[in-house]
Amino acid sequence: MAETIANWFVTTFEGTLAREWIVFLVSLLPILELRGGIIAGFAMNMEWLPTFIIAYIGNILPIPFILLFIRYIFKVLKKTPMRRVVEWCERRAEQKSEQIRKYAYWGVFLFVA
């Protein structure tokens, strides 16, 4: 599925956008993320290192905004038909919060290492 969507981006926008922008935009999408960006770069015959760097930046860029605005986004979504999904996500996060606090040091250690 990721390959199909990435190839659609390539065939649709290759003449109008630079290859680097296509990789970046594909990497921003939640479904495709890094994998889709790399597939799109290879489909356009880009070198592997620039493809990986651009896809990685595109994949990481939304994270600070999500962390900053997730409470506001949930507040807005609770007023829509997505209310049950949002409440489920909040309950699940609350259930896992103690486990995350307990192993936070080791999780960060392993992630950085």
Which residues 6+ apart lie within 8 Å of 27 measured at CB? 33, 34, 36, 37, 54, 55, 56, 57, 58, 59
Name the band, by pLDDT with cuts 50, 70 and 90, for residue 2: low
Task: Tell me the pTM.
Answer: 0.65
Average pLDDT across the chain, whole number: 85
Provide the CA 36 distance to its chain's centre, in angstroms.
Answer: 10
Burial 23-38 (b: 16+ CB within 10 A, else e): bbbbbbbeebbbbbbb
Over the stretch 60-101, which tens digit does the pLDDT of each residue have? 998 888 889 988 999 999 999 989 999 998 898 888 888 877
Tell me if 54 sits within 8 A of 23, measured CB to CB: yes
